[in-house]
Amino acid sequence: MTLSRTVAVPGMLAEYEAFGELIDGLSAQQWAKPTRCSGWTVADVAAHVVGQLTDVVQLRLEGLGSPEVTDREVAERKGRTPAELVDELRAGAKAGAEMAAAFDDAAWDGPIDGVDGTVGFGIEALWFDTYVHADDIRHALGLPSVEGDGLIASASHLTQILTDRGWGPADVRLGRLGTFPVSGGGGRTIDADPLEFALAASGRLEPSRLGLDDSVNVYAP
């Protein structure tokens, strides 16, 4: 079950604002730094985040999140400056806020044409993706992680995907965030730091550090 729209919509918009503040004013050297996203620089990560939002508000939803689409998002923005991407990001966030204001509970829990999952699941995915990619950029620049509200979206989204994949059953206990059941809960109890769980379940941290194996990585084949 996704987060409510009263939590996810403002959370997503705040995450985009924070992402814009993170990349705004980066130097050319910082922009070209390699990241833990294989083959991507800081500029490439930012281009994907911004391009994905633009695709969503322009309803270019087919294949969203696939390697082909993410590569296109990056290629279309090759050579753009941080300031140019911030301008596009803020325009996309404004359009996204206007679209989201029209959602009622029925629409939130309803399907998206051409995309698996509900509208709420899609919004939560955007929030999670922006949060973890911001952490990718901070990691590349030697900046500390920010354990903000994006961890709520990360925990909810990742445990939903694990449930869809038939992982578990398990109860994932993430400190102050509470317990997130996977596949109905019960079975194994996993105690983890919220950020470490998000990184491990998204392929950014060795799962063995949490006593888990590679099956927890939602991006693993």
Give per-residue pLDDT as tens, 164-205. Answer: 999 999 999 999 999 999 999 999 999 999 999 999 999 999
Question: What are the residue boundaries of the structural domains of the chain, listed by start?
Answer: 5-141, 150-216
Q: What is the rounded CA–CA span in Å between residue 97 and residue 199?
A: 28
pLDDT at 124: 96
Confidence class of residue 211 from pLDDT cuts 50, 70 and 90? very high
pLDDT at 16: 98
- At 159 the pLDDT is 97
Q: Spelled out in words, what is the top-level CATH class assigned to the domain 5-141?
A: mainly alpha
Check whether 114 has a pLDDT greater than 90: no
Statement: residue 152 has pLDDT above 90? yes
pLDDT of residue 117: 86
Q: CB neighbours of 139 closer than 8 A, spacing ≥ 6?
A: 35, 36, 145
Q: What's the pLDDT band for 113 if we cut at 50, 70, 90? A: confident
| Residue 11 pLDDT grade (very low, low, confident, very high; cuts 50, 70, 90) | very high
More confident site: 221 or 196: 196
More confident residue, 135 or 111: 135
Angle of the 119-141 helix axis to the 150-164 helix axis, nearest 10: 120
Q: pLDDT grade, residue 150 (50/70/90)?
A: very high
Confidence of residue 88 (pLDDT cuts 50, 70, 90): very high
Burial of residue 53 (CB within 10 Å: 0-12, 13-18, 19+) is buried
The pLDDT value given to residue 1: 75
Nearest to 197 by CA among 176, 173, 215: 173
Residue 115 pairs with which residues in a beta bridge?
A: 112
Q: Do 5-141 and 150-216 have matching folds?
A: no
Per-residue confidence (pLDDT) for residue 145, from 0 to 100: 97
Q: How confident is the model at residue 116 (pLDDT cuts 50, 70, 90)?
A: confident
How far apart (Å, rounded) are the C-alpha atoms in residues 58 and 139? Answer: 31
pLDDT of residue 221: 79
H/E element, 127: helix 119-141
Q: Check: CATH 1.10.8.60 for 150-216?
A: no
